[in-house]
Amino acid sequence: MSYKRLIPCIFIAGQRAVKWFNNKEVLCEDAVKLAKAYNDNGADELLVFDLSETDEEHDETIGLIKRMSRIIRIPVIAGGNIRRMEDVKKILYAGAKRALLNFSKADNVHMTAEASRRFGKEKIAVSLNDFDALFKHQHIIQDCAGELVFMHRLDLNSVMNVTDLPCVIVTDAMEEEELVRILKCPGVWGLSGKYISRPEMNFASFKERCNEENIMMTAFESLMEFSQFKTDEKGLLPVIVQHYKTQEVLMLAYMNEEAFDQTIKTGRMTYFSRSRQSLWVKGETSGHFQYVKSLTIDCDHDTLLAEVDQVGAACHTGNPTCFYQPIAGAGGDVKNPLQIFETVYETIMDRKEHPKEGSYTNYLFDKGIDKILKKVGEEATEIVIAAKNPDPEEVKYEMADFLYHAMVLMAEKGIDWEDIIQEMAER
């Protein structure tokens, strides 16, 4: 069954989000803030169009895309002002899931084939303004792209006869009936445009409307009903929460049926508070949301394991995990290197996004890139000096200092450990 997606679009001009590609009236002064609002309110993906006119503005937009990709958990598809292969590379390296090439520009037709060979067709999307362009270039589109974005109202049934690629429709239609009609077309994979991109858009509400029309919207689909789980006498199911990258156990909480349904529907972990006797979305007040990666029930059907993408700290004390107090044994002394690196990096990012008075990390961020680079250089020199000393303890100490400052630099430049690991794996 094909699940449909709601994909708001952001048109960027001068680092601001404007209303439409032909309407430069400012929609939001902070495009990154708008992207985060879409993410937090339940959008499935994000389309970003660069309306810049100069190379300098284009690089500024690339910087915005990089910042968006670091703070939101939904995929980004980005295009606009792509003139050369280097632009495709910059967009993908900024964290976009796909680079979007506009086929109304003749050069982009040839660039698509080259980009597909270099980065893989799944990394390339194509935008079209009319059906004729699809018919004319159907072979290169089919062979070299992983997604189609239509910037016009089309005969969607005709599109189905030409390609089986997933299609996103960007429309200026504002009537829900028209949008529902578009989503009912089998060839439509995602819907974008003016209505979907309103800052006040209620994605959950519109998805409910679509579900009433028998349109299956993207959400986590549970293979079991909550009634099949073995709950306690109050109808609660314990949930063990684990970080999907490090496998670190973060917390234990409880769900009732409503919390489970909300988690499935929104993709954000929602629990039932036994003390308050009410639902609570993890991170609703702190911003430390938990985004679902997978849910697994145990053999007795009485405990749920949730693998999540944790934003910030899981514990209200500020600790990365609620399980930080040793009681017995020395198991806590066994460290997962990736877990340590991820935890330190997440703490650094948390300081960057939520400054803390007296923090040395915030001191470095406040002083800026030159100070951070100076410290990285100094720590690298300290390693060289320590390595001339017979005592390896000095090297360990200086390496730890260097890695911390390197992570501050990573955070400043919008690079995380996943980027580094991916780069090393590709080598």
Average the pLDDT over 90-110 and give the result.
Answer: 89
Same domain, 32 and 176: yes
Same domain, 61 and 165: yes
Domain-embedded: residue 315: no
Same domain, 230 and 205: no
Q: What is the CATH number for 167?
A: 3.20.20.70
Tell me: pLDDT of 344 over 80.
yes
Domain-embedded: residue 419: yes
Average the pLDDT over 181-208 and give the result.
Answer: 90
Domain-embedded: residue 322: no
- pLDDT value at residue 133: 67
Same domain, 46 and 188: yes
Domain boundary among 277, 310, 343: 310
Report yes or no: 168 and 149 within 8 Å, Cβ to Cβ: yes
Domain-embedded: residue 69: yes
Residue 415, CA distances (Å) to 67, 332, 375, 406, 421 in order? 10, 29, 18, 11, 11
Domain boundary among 241, 275, 310: 310
Same domain, 291 and 407: no
Same domain, 15 and 112: yes
Determine the structural domain holding residue 383 and report its residue range.
Answer: 335-426
Rounded distance between C-alpha atoms, residue 142 and residue 134, angstroms:
10
- pLDDT value at residue 1: 46
The type of residue at 252 is: L
Same domain, 388 and 305: no
Q: Is the pTM of this model over 0.75?
A: no
pLDDT per residue as tens digits for the range 349-399: 999 999 988 899 999 999 999 999 999 999 999 999 999 988 888 899 999
What is the average pLDDT value for the chain, to the nearest integer? 88
Same domain, 22 and 122: yes
State both tokens at 84. 């050369």
Domain-embedded: residue 114: yes
Rounded distance between C-alpha atoms, residue 78 and residue 55, angstroms:
16
Domain-embedded: residue 316: no
Same domain, 200 and 296: no
Q: What is the CATH number for 245?
A: 3.10.20.810
Q: What is the CATH number for 354?
A: 1.10.287.1080
- pLDDT value at residue 53: 87
**Neighbouring residues of 47: CB distance < 8 A, sequence distance ≥ 6:** 7, 8, 9, 10, 77, 78, 100, 149, 168, 170, 192
Rounded distance between C-alpha atoms, residue 64 and residue 41, angstroms:
20
Same domain, 73 and 198: yes
State both tokens at 10. 């952001």
Report yes or no: 199 and 37 within 8 Å, Cβ to Cβ: yes
Q: What is the largest CA-CA distance in the chain?
A: 76
Domain-embedded: residue 326: no
- pLDDT value at residue 139: 83
How many domains in the chain?
Answer: 3
**Neighbouring residues of 99: CB distance < 8 A, sequence distance ≥ 6:** 77, 78, 79, 82, 87, 88, 91, 92, 115, 119, 123, 124, 125
Report yes or no: 36 and 221 within 8 Å, Cβ to Cβ: no
Residue written as tokens 């990096």? 345
Same domain, 189 and 80: yes
Per the model's pLDDT, the better-predicted residue between 161 and 113 turns out to be 113
Average the pLDDT over 246-260 and give the result.
Answer: 94
pLDDT per residue as tens digits for the range 197-234: 999 998 988 988 998 898 988 766 677 889 999 999 99
Same domain, 377 and 412: yes
State both tokens at 249. 């156990």
Report yes or no: 112 and 140 within 8 Å, Cβ to Cβ: yes
Domain boundary among 181, 212, 243: 212
Tell me: pLDDT of 332 over 60.
no
Domain-embedded: residue 38: yes
